[in-house]
Amino acid sequence: MKFNPSELETNLVYKLLSGSVVPRPIAWVSTISNDGILNLAPYSFFTVASRNPPMLCISVGPGVGERVGTVKDTLTNIRDNGEFVINIATTPLGNALQKTAEHVPAEIDEFAEAGLTAVASDLVKPMRVKEAPIQMECRLEQIIPLGSDYLVIGEMVMYHIKDEFYQEAYKVDLEQLRPLGRLANQFSENKDFFTLPKEDLK
């Protein structure tokens, strides 16, 4: 079976891509509006873009459902202020993360809606999610239009990690972290880590 993307509706191509490029890490992106309203939303089109200087990127799509034709608050706030924070979500924070994925008016504080604690960042204005074990403060490098979406690239200017998730030699304790991944419209906890080659793979 094969599919030509040019012959399919966008949502059908998205289903194929989001079910194939798995598992995807989730960037829990916090921003702030010009009016000081806190915004928090998850994005699973997310990865490292550069190691020197350290850069991260997310892909922000257009509004969907009742917000078709609108620009997402995350993109608006980053355009206006040039700063954001990427918080790393874990399995225990899954329900709170899902709450922040709901479509709400721009004047709603998603930290409060999800019962999360906003704490000040060191170098940028957007707040961090206190409950998240890792938080990365970013300054906007560039926004690249790509078809219907926008690739947002930011330089990481400060990295926060809770002590219990840090191992020596600048490593993260992945078993303790319990990172949450996205697979199509489902989620999974990343665990059962192993190295390759491994003799008993089936």
Residue 179 is classified by DSSP as B
Helix (H) / strand (E) containing 22: none
- pLDDT given at position 202: 84
- For residue 41, how many other CB atoms are within 10 A of its CB? 22
Task: Give yes or no for a contact between 100 and 110, defined as CB atoms under 8 angstroms apart.
Answer: yes
In the chain the domains, ranked by start, together with CATH numbers, are: 5-189 (2.30.110.10)
Phi, then psi, of 98 in degrees rounded to 5: -60, -35
CB half-sphere exposure, 94, CA atoms < 13 A? 14
C-alpha span between 175 and 123 (Å, rounded): 29
Q: How far apart are CA 39 and CA 36, in angstroms?
A: 9
> What is the 8-class DSSP label of residue 66?
G
Instruction: Determine the residue type at 31.
Output: T
Cβ contact 125:83 at 8 Å: yes
Please answer whether residues 171 and 75 qualify as being in contact, where contact means their C-beta atoms are separated by less than 8 angstroms. Answer: no
pLDDT along the chain (202 residues), means of 10: 96 96 96 97 98 98 72 96 97 97 92 97 98 98 97 98 96 95 93 91 87
Amino acid of residue 136: M
Q: Which two tokens stand for residue 50?
A: 């550069």
**In this predicted structure, what is the pLDDT of residue 190?**
85
Cα distances (Å, whole numbers) of residue 94 to 120, 131, 152, 187: 22, 12, 24, 9
Model pLDDT, residue 80: 98
pLDDT at 68 (0 to 100): 63
